[in-house]
Each structure stands twice: as C-alpha cells, then as structure tokens.
Structure 1
Amino acid sequence: MPIIWIAYLLAFIDRVNIGIASLGMKQSLGLTDEDFGLAAGIFFIGYFILEIPGTYIVEKLSAKKWIARILISWGLVASLTGLVQDKWQLFAARFALGLAEASFFPGIIVYLTHWFLEDERSRAVSLFMSAIAVANIILSPLSGWLLTVNWLGLEGWRWVLILEGLPSVFWGIAVLFLLPDWPRDAKWLSHEEAKWLEEELERERKSHPPERVSFWTTGLKIPEAWLLALVYFLATSGLYGITFWSPQVLKALTGGNSIVVGILNAVMYTAALVSMIIVGRSSDRRGERFFHSSIPLFIGAVGLVLVAPLANQPHLAFIALIIAAVGIYGFYPPFWPIPQRMLAGVARAVAVGLINSVGNLGGFAGPYIVGYLNTIGHMSYAGLIYLAGSTVASGALLLYLRKKLSTSTPQK
C-alpha cells in the first residue's frame, strides 16, 4: 500500500497542479477560462484512449512493470509541460500526459483485488484514494510558494510543473524493485501466509458466476458496467470541476495572493481526506456500498449550490466549498467495491477499465463546461450549478442501479 499510495499521490499532483499553476499561467499564455478548462480536461481524452488495454495487462501480465512504465513516462511529460509557449502546446502536452498516465488508476484497482478480500476492499480503496486529498494538501502550499519564484528567467508556474513532475520518474524506477505482483512474490510474507491469502482470493473468485473468456464480451457487454460508467462520469465531473477550479474560486472569494489560496486549498482537502477515511470504514463495517456512495454526492451538491449565494460572505462560502469537497471525495471509497463485487477475473479488469475510462471523461466535461460557463457568464460561480446537478444525477443513478440489482440478485 505505501508503494502504490505514493505513486497515486504523484499521479494526482501531476494531473491537477495545473489548477494552481493557472494563477500565473492564464495571464502568461493569454488563456481565457474556456481555454484553461479545455487544457485541464483534454488530459482525460488521452487517458480514455489507452485505459482498458492497460487494465488487461495488469490482470494478465505484470502490474509492477506496467505501473513503472506509466510513472516514468508521465513524469517526463509532466515536467516538459512547464516549457510550453502557447495554448496549443499546452493542449498537446496535457493530451500526451493523459496518454502516458492511462490505465494507472484502474490498473491499481484491479491490482488491489490480488491482495485484499472483498470485505476489506473499501478500506483499501479509501486508503489508496486518500492520496488524492493528501496530494492537494501537499500540492497547494508548495505550489503557491513556487508561484512566487523566478529562477533562471522562468516564471513560477513553470517551476510548479517542472519540479513536480520529476519525482514520478524516480519513483517509477523504484517500483520495479519494490512492488510485488502477487502475494507469492512478497518477501515479507511467509510461504504459508501467501498460500492462505491466494487460496482465499481464489475461493472468492469462484463464488462469482463463471467467467466468460472473450475479451470483448467480458465486461464490455455488461449493462450494469455501462451504468456504473455513467455514474462515475457524472461524479467525476464534480470532482475535477472543483479540483481544477477551486484555486480560481478561492482567489475570487478572498482576493488573496497565491500562498493564501494554497493554504486554504490545503485546509479544504484535509477535510476531504477525513471524509474519505470515515466513509470507507463505515462502508466496510456495515457491508453497504450504494447509500455510502450516493449520500456523499448529495451532500457535495448542497455545498456547491451554496457557494454562489454566499459569495459576499467569504468565510461562509469557504465552508460551503469544504462541504462540497467532503461530499464529492467521500463518494469514491465505497464506490469501487461495487464492480469488484459484481465481477471477477478478466471480466472485472475490463469492466473496471471501462468504468474508469468512460467515467473519467467527466474529468474533461467538468472543467471544460465550468470554463465555458464562466466565460459566457463573466463570473467564477456559473459552472458550480452544473457541477451540483451532475453530482445529484450521479447519486440518483446509483440508487436506481441498487434497486435494479436488488430485483435480480442480492446486492449490498
């Protein structure tokens, strides 16, 4: 867990640090809000293209080699993004970053099924995904400070991207030596411990319906997988909408400098981290996934809706942003055990890749639509209503899926 947690920490830093960098980048490159929304979101178009094949590789070949390749390639692209000279180069760099990082997250979700039993997976996912919140906690004040430097004639926002990409390259090399593919490869487990764990995992796998062996009919033709992909798309629109745009919203609320914005952003994600841990543990303890995923989305929507009317009261508006982050981030730990429970083997790998690839297109839609609405509305809050509606729709669809599944097979 520490190995993949650090990897995801670096992944999230490198995909979202453009949010903090935008405080200097927009003026330097002459970006409109719509341009910035496109630059932030186009990452997920490249991400979508190579997503499903990567999860198949993790399940059937080697997780550590594939994850190491991803880390090294995305780290190099992330650092080179700091050298772009115009918006078109920025678009190309963000698209390439998505290609480089594709399949990392769903590959890890599949990889966790090699190590954790079903009743432990929500906690495992919540621990792994806590790296998202911690990334923002670390990233916000660090990037806020880097924005103030001007080394070697390069503006601070460029150093944000250059310096924060390099650790991924070094960690990718370390993964080749540190990360075991299966329990039997782990040096810290005895032969008996590894054998017991793999036998228990195999017993759980056999308790699922027989696996269909065709790649294209395994996972891709399961209607519930596509519905979960839509749920994830709508929730992820909210996640990345608030992640990429919160520095801009905080700047508008407070008129603060980049360091102040960074600190406030860190406070917001500290609350989100606590939410992820609490919701994940509660979901495992109660053995329930659907309500634990949907209710946080409704709470997040309330927070998003309240930001705009509270704009003249910055302290209350900031609390509303915290509520939004607590709700939206709380959705993720109990969500991923749902497809893990429904499927096994290659079916699970392909379905997880499908859900994450289609769902993460919300990472394109959320930031871009927010940027577009802000541009035509000439305000920093116009897109928040879209994000709130997206998260509400995601929670409602999740409850619909729960009802649908309960009429066919028992689900929790």
Structure 2
Amino acid sequence: MPRDVPVVKDERREKVYARITWRLMPFLFFCFFAAYLDRVNVGFAKLQMADELGLSEYVYGLGAGIFFIGYALFEVPSNLIMHKVGARLWIARIMITWGIISGLFAFAQTPMHFYILRFLLGLAEAGFAPGVLLYVTYWFPSARRSRAMSIFFIAIPISGVLGSPLSGWIMDTFHGASGWGGWRWLFLLEAIPALIAGIATFWMLPNRPADVDWLTAEDKRMIAADLAEDNREKTAHMSVRQFLADKRLWLLSLLYFCIVMGQYAISFWLPTMVKAAGVTDPLENGLISAIPFLFAVVVILVLARSADLRRERRFHLMLPMAMGAIALALSPLAIGNLPLSVLILSFATAGLLTQTAQFWSIPPAFLGGVWAAAGIGAINAIGNVAGFVSPFVIGWVVDATKSLSAGLYTITAVELIGVALVLLIPARQVNR
C-alpha cells in the first residue's frame, strides 16, 4: 500500500464496500433482470408463437441462437467503447435500443422476421453483461468481487422466478386482446422494464468512485489503493499479438463456451421440459418453472459467499458445473412425473446458473486496464457463440430424434468437458 494512503481499519473498509454494493448492485440487478426477461420470454412465447408463425423446433432453435451471432460480433468493440466513454452513457444506450427491438417482436409475421429481430437484438444487447463485469472491477478488488457479482447474477434466476409466472399470466390474460395472440403482448409489455432502466441509468450509474459524493476523499483513496494492489500482478499492457497468443484467454473462452451451452439449455427449454412433465396451461407452467429458478437464487448466494471467504475459485466453479450436468442428464428419466421433474430440474437450474456467477470471478484475476475490457469482451463473445450452438443443436436433435433426451445428453457431455478444463486454470492466480 502506498505510504501516503492511511491505513484503514477493516471495519471501516467493510462499511465502505457495503455502501458501494447497495448503491450500485441493486440497480445493476434490475438492469440485468430486464435484459434476462428477453431470454425467459422467448421460451414462453414459443408455446404459442411456434404455431402462429409456423416455427418447427429446428427453426425456433436457429432463431433463438441467431441472437448470439450479433451479440458476439459487437462484444469486444462495445466493451472498448464503454471503457472509453463510461458506463453511464454506454449502458443506457444498450438498454434503450434493446428495449425498442424487443418490443418489435410483437409485430413479427414470419420466421424471417423472427430471425432478423433476434439478430438485431443481439447487436443491441452486446456489451451489457461484459460491460457490467468490467464496471465492477472499477469498484471492487478481487476478494470482494464474487459477492458483489452474485447480486448481479441472481437476476438470471429471479427473472425466472418472476418472469416465468408473469409471462404465463400475460399470455393467458391478454390472449385475443385487440386480435393479438398472448405472445405478442408478452414481447410488447416485457420490453418496458428495459426502457425504464435505460433512461434511469443517466441518474443512477456513476462511472467511477471519483465521480460520487457519497464517498469521502479518504474512502476514495482507500479504494484506489486496494485496486492498485489488486492489479499489481495483472497484465495491463501487451500488444494485440500477445493478447491473441495468450493461452489463458483461449482456455477461459473455451470453458465459458461449455458453461453457456448449459445455461441456455435451461433458459430456452425449461418451459418445454415442464410441459413434457404434463403441464400445458401457460400460467401453471410459469408458476412451476419458477421453482427451479428460486432454488438457483439460494445456491448462487451461498457459493458466492463461500468462494470469497475461502478465497477459492476452482472448486466453487467445478461443483455447480458437475451438479448441473448430472441433473440435466437425469431429467429425461423423470418425464411424466411432475414432482420428480421439478426436483431434478431445480438441481440442474441451480448448477447451470451458479456456474456463470462463479466463472466471472476468474478472468479479472488475469487482466487489468484496457486489456481487461478487451479480455472480458472477447471471452464473453467467444463463449456466447454457445448461445447460438446450444438451442440450434437441441432443436436439430429434437426434430431428428423426436425426443428431447438426446439433446440434453449432448449438453451434459459438453458441461463435463468444461469441468475438466477448470483443472487447467492455475489455482495460484485465481484463488485470492
């Protein structure tokens, strides 16, 4: 720690970081919740939209996955722009544009419209999640980042807990209103939170600790010293060639690819799996689908706290990956048995969503500065190609075999490969 920075008692440090957490993370949680409604509602819209637009399982899977092509293309440029212009302006731009495009799904008439809008939605949303991941590194050192990010990432299961029954209710209640199917109202109404959050960002999201008046000068010096110490062993300067040749970057990208394969298997197909268990009513499907997401909230928070307290990252990533993979493989055995299906899907959902929260405590341990912006963006972009591959593969396999089981077994195999890849991450660099 630099000599001119006063030593601050741990009690004060805890209070400062707690203040930052509760000032920033609930709003970022709401933003991610709004974003993830787009991932939840397309799975529910499929229950009605597929017949009206003539979407086969293959066509739906391809359309759901096309989102991630646009998403991946703009990921790194988006993060570099945010690093330059600031989170307030850039995240507001992201949310407002994706809210507008999400609402336009209500007017889709053909599978081609579905394809085009999914691609444009990916372009609009690109950079949000990695942008927030980068933003958190401006405020929290590594040892405190997992707990802070857990608040952000529980938006994924909470969007399932609240979004699933909400989606079912909208589809039931508004079906036929003004001659529209319930799925059209679903897209239109669930675009509103993103627009609200985008406008609110201009007032709610400061760019850096130096910009706020709710931290004292001493607080800001302490945070700067903590971050400087945290970044001391990180790579902050390298050439583009060195960056692309960094084996750690490609290892983490491949690992995240495996993680995203499982994450979107649950996000896009959970309502279909609940329907296969015998639940055909949209509202009832939504209420039951909320149970696995609620269980995931608990697991994410417990493992995040444990990982930070023990300063251990690899086992806390491998555990949910293995749990999610095994549960996903077992889920076809429970088809037709609703209580057993819900139990198994709860473990699958908890594992497959918790792994995402745990993974993102690892990349910032390697890179700092502008290369953190590029690295987080690159890993997220490459990994999210799986967002295209996952629904595409499952949709193709389901159409070919007339069974969801083979597609889920494929995802399980990819997840287990990911578990093995975690062992290649140097423990010394990430366990802090």
Question: Which category describes the TM-score, using the shorter chain as reference length?
Answer: over 0.9
Letter in 2 for 1:359: G
* Count of residue pairs the alignment pairs up: 405
Residue 191 (structure 1) aligns with: 217
1:310 to 329, 334, 337: 334
Deviation at 1:217, TM superposition (A): 3.8
For the pair 1:296 / 2:320, whether they are aligned, the reply is: yes
Residue 87 (structure 1) aligns with: 111
What is the alpha-carbon distance in structure 1 between the residues aligned to residue 48 and residue 142 of structure 2? 45
Per-residue CA deviation, residues 105-130 of structure 1 (Å, 9 max, x unaligned), is 00100000011111001111111111
TM-score, scaled relative to structure 2: 0.91
What is the alpha-carbon distance in structure 2 between the residues aligned to residue 393 and residue 67 of structure 1? 34
Residue 201 (structure 1) aligns with: 227
What is the alpha-carbon distance in structure 2 between the residues aligned to residue 154 and residue 32 of structure 1? 21
1:132 to 156, 178, 191: 156
Deviation at 1:85, TM superposition (A): 0.2
Residue 160 (structure 1) aligns with: 186
Match of 2:190, SS?
helix
What is the alpha-carbon distance in structure 2 between the residues aligned to residue 310 and residue 177 of structure 1? 48
Report the aligned-residue RMSD. 1.4
Letter in 2 for 1:354: A
Residue 212 (structure 1) aligns with: 237
For the pair 1:367 / 2:384, whether they are aligned, the reply is: no
Deviation at 1:410, TM superposition (A): 5.0
Per-residue CA deviation, residues 205-264 of structure 1 (Å, 9 max, x unaligned), is 2x12552254x2464331111111111111101110111011011111123311111011
What is the alpha-carbon distance in structure 2 between the residues aligned to residue 337 and residue 218 of structure 1? 23
Residue 28 (structure 1) aligns with: 52
1:108 to 111, 132, 140: 132
Letter in 2 for 1:323: F
Match of 2:191, SS?
helix
Letter in 1 for 2:147: R
Match of 1:147, SS?
helix
Instruction: Name segments (4+ residues, structure 1) moved above 6 Å.
Output: none
Match of 1:254, SS?
coil
Asked if 2 retains the 8 angstrom alpha-carbon contact of 1:184 and 1:195, the reply is: no
What is the alpha-carbon distance in structure 2 between the residues aligned to residue 184 and residue 173 of structure 1? 23
2:356 to 314, 329, 332: 332
Letter in 1 for 2:31: A
- Aligned-pair identity (%): 37
Deviation at 1:139, TM superposition (A): 0.7
What is the alpha-carbon distance in structure 1 between the residues aligned to residue 339 and residue 235 of structure 2? 55
What is the alpha-carbon distance in structure 2 between the residues aligned to residue 218 and residue 289 of structure 1? 26
1:65 to 89, 93, 98: 89
Residue 268 (structure 2) aligns with: 244
Q: Which runs of 5+ in 1 are unaligned?
A: none
Per-residue CA deviation, residues 11-47 of structure 1 (Å, 9 max, x unaligned), is 1112331001111111111110011111111110000
Match of 1:177, SS?
helix
Per-residue CA deviation, residues 120-154 of structure 1 (Å, 9 max, x unaligned), is 01111111111111111111001101111222111
TM-score, scaled relative to structure 1: 0.95
More divergent stretch after superposition (54-63 vs 138-147): 54-63
Deviation at 1:198, TM superposition (A): 2.1
Letter in 2 for 1:222: D
Match of 2:288, SS?
helix
More divergent stretch after superposition (116-125 vs 217-226): 217-226
Letter in 1 for 2:161: I
Residue 20 (structure 2) aligns with: none
What is the alpha-carbon distance in structure 1 between the residues aligned to residue 237 and residue 382 of structure 2? 22
Match of 1:140, SS?
helix
What is the alpha-carbon distance in structure 2 between the residues aligned to residue 382 and residue 294 of structure 1? 23
What is the alpha-carbon distance in structure 2 between the residues aligned to residue 122 and residue 313 of structure 1? 36
Per-residue CA deviation, residues 356-379 of structure 1 (Å, 9 max, x unaligned), is 000011111111111111111112
For the pair 1:393 / 2:417, whether they are aligned, the reply is: yes
Asked if 2 retains the 8 angstrom alpha-carbon contact of 1:220 and 1:354, the reply is: no
Asked if 2 retains the 8 angstrom alpha-carbon contact of 1:220 and 1:351, the reply is: no
Asked if 2 retains the 8 angstrom alpha-carbon contact of 1:289 and 1:337, the reply is: yes
Asked if 2 retains the 8 angstrom alpha-carbon contact of 1:208 and 1:344, the reply is: no
Q: Which runs of 5+ in 2 are unaligned?
A: 1-24
